[in-house]
Structures are given as structure tokens and as C-alpha cells.
Amino acid sequence: MNCKAIRRVNLEQLHFPVDGYLYIVKTLTSVDGGKTFWYSGNSKYFKTEAEALDYKKQQEEQED
């Protein structure tokens, strides 16, 4: 069975600031064809939404 990992990059606004950081970009991975996505600790925090969106875009472009 040949299963390719699928990545999804999510941008989330935190419910409360963490050292001034308000946003987190998380990478989720699926190994069952996109049925289930798992978070394995790969993330980065940002203080502004613009920074988070830029990083999210960079991560999504790496998938290509």
C-alpha cells in the first residue's frame, strides 16, 4: 500500500496571549488519505496576523 502523507497548515488565534504572541500556525499530517489529520507538535507562534499569514503561505508553498 502506497500512502503519501498529506500536510495541512492551520492558522489559529490564541484564546489568550502567550508572552505577547496571539497567533499560532500548526502543521497537521494525514497518512490515511486525508481522512484524519494529526498534530505532532510542529508549530510556530506569531505576534501579528500578517506575520502568521506570511509563514502559513510559505509552509503551504513548500508542499508543492
Summarize pLDDT for 8-56 with one digit per residue, the tens: 999 999 999 999 999 999 999 999 999 999 998 999 999 999 999 999 9
- Provide the residue ranges of all domains of the chain, joining segments of one domain with +: 6-62
pLDDT band, residue 3 (cuts 50/70/90): confident
- Outline where DSSP puts E strands in 1-64: 6-18, 21-30, 38-46
Instruction: Please give the model's pTM, rounded to 2 decimal places.
Output: 0.84
C-alpha torsion angle, residues 46, 47, 53, 58 (rounded to 10)? -40
pLDDT at 62 over 90: no
